[in-house]
Chain A
């Protein structure tokens, strides 16, 4: 019997260290300052000198190894590369999907039964408590009026509550996008998507837990007329982020521009002028037709021009004509003049033009030519001047 005891004890001395080995890393996690419980969040332990791939986790609180609220308990001998005395281990609460994490804490493995980690606190992600997007004209609310041929300053303003202290808020970005034809992740395009990666953070706003975030966008005149969404993303020093959004409607903008005067060169009496061309540019955000009318010196005077000399000192309105679709170069007679061109009128007349709004951010593709001629009757001489009123009318289907 004694021999058996001796034999067994020898075997035990050799083998027992392999049978049993446990070293506990324990610690306390405080609830987040916004009141969220640390319980049921996951804490991760790893040895940085080995790498985070070899890790262990525990559920904080009663559902974890400790069975005690806010406490975790991990046996670091269960790492694939078992912990040894002197190892420095790192722990942190990881994101379970609710955005709550913690800072990292280090602990050195000792020869004691357990090692106690310094207290962790569950981080509160920043909270977007209010957000408003609008232009500088706040009445009516939630409507944005663009500026022809220019940009409009749109501001997305939010109040952020950061329970871990306003200084832990480190980054704020915003995206402003057409809520129908685009989305948060789309690429920037002046028609439907804008990004601001450097929003202003006003730490002097409110109390020590509040930050005002201001994100500005220069929105081009050809931005889609739609409901637009400003989505703000704020991030704290532990990369916990939150989003908030608000909608505002971009109103339709009807606007056009002309690049020059229409200038007819010298015309002999009884003849039709050469064709003069003028570019019309859509400076709005809808497809347009043209409303055209003309006058000599005062509106509705039935003239196209008034002249400085001659027995007849004006040119009737119907002698000035236009073609909105095609050019007819060269000398033409009255018959061609009548068939290929349309009379200008004293009262506005809407003509189909279907000039779409700008879609190309690099080159202005919202430009179309118009073609003009005038007939100079007998008895007119000298310099003649008149006026043509171009108006933009929203085209169907835009």
Chain B
């Protein structure tokens, strides 16, 4: 029981923290290397392939769904992996090779 409670608290902290942290921003600044982002409601969903085409500095994007299944997209060989949709209010790991600013509104 305690285990599930901890998981629940952990998930709430992760998700709500990011949502609040990124709330109300019109752009997201990504540093070189790993970044965890959660896009605000104002952002329109888009395919990861399109995101990478817009920002070729992105090398990889990863999303882990509720069943802990991992979806990854890597910017190599013209783009490989799952072309999943990036929705607002979900957490994604984006790895970039240099600092960039996402303007997705």
A contact set with B: CB distance below 8 Å:
4-5, 8-9, 11-12, 15-16, 19-22, 24, 26, 28, 65-68, 71, 73, 75, 78, 111-114, 116
Contact = CB atoms under 8 A, between A and B. Distances in A.
Given A19-B91, A111-B33, A24 B20 contact: no
A11 to B, nearest CB: 4
Contacts of B64: 19-20
B13 A73 contact: no
B72 A16 contact: no
11 contacts: A8-B17, A12-B14, A12-B21, A19-B14, A20-B36, A26-B74, A67-B81, A73-B80, A113-B58, A113-B74, A113-B97
B76 interface: yes
Q: Which 9 A-B pairs have the closest CB atoms?
A: A113-B59, A8-B17, A113-B95, A113-B60, A22-B62, A12-B17, A66-B80, A11-B13, A20-B93
Contact of A112 (B13, B14, B97): B97
Contacts of B2: none
A286 to B, nearest CB: 68
B29 to A, nearest CB: 15
A112 B80 contact: no
Contacts of B36: 12, 16, 19-20
Contacts of B83: 67
A22 B77 contact: no
B82 A15 contact: no
A95 to B, nearest CB: 25
Given A22-B62, A65-B81, 6 more contacts: A5-B17, A66-B81, A73-B74, A73-B80, A113-B95, A114-B59
Contacts of A19: 14, 36, 64, 91
A19 B90 CA distance: 12
B13 A8 contact: yes
Nearest to B96: A113
Main secondary structure of the interface of A (DSSP, over half): mixed
B10 interface: yes
Given A15-B13, A19-B14, A20-B91, A114 B76 contact: yes
Contact of B20 (A8, A15, A22): A8
A38 B77 CA distance: 16
Contacts of B96: 113
A16 B77 CA distance: 29
Interface residues of B, number: 33
A21 B92 CA distance: 10
Contacts of B17: 5, 8-9, 11-12
B82 A112 contact: no
B82 A65 contact: yes
Contacts of B60: 22, 24, 113-114
Nearest to B75: A113
A70 to B, nearest CB: 9
A48 to B, nearest CB: 24
Given A22-B93, A113-B97, A68 B77 contact: yes
Contacts of A28: 77
Nearest to B17: A8
Nearest to A20: B93
B72 A65 contact: yes
Given A12-B18, A111-B33, A67 B80 contact: yes
B97 to A, nearest CB: 7
Contacts of A12: 13-14, 17-18, 21, 36
A133 to B, nearest CB: 49
Interface in B54-87: 58-60, 62, 64, 70, 72, 74-83
Given A20-B93, A111-B33, A113-B60, A5 B82 contact: no
A294 to B, nearest CB: 91
Contacts of A75: 62, 70, 72
Contacts of A113: 58-60, 74-75, 95-97
Nearest to A1: B20
B92 to A, nearest CB: 8
Contact of A26 (B58, B62, B77): B77
B16 interface: yes
A16 B59 CA distance: 20
Contacts of B13: 8, 11-12, 15
Contact of A71 (B10, B16, B80): B80
A138 B36 CA distance: 77
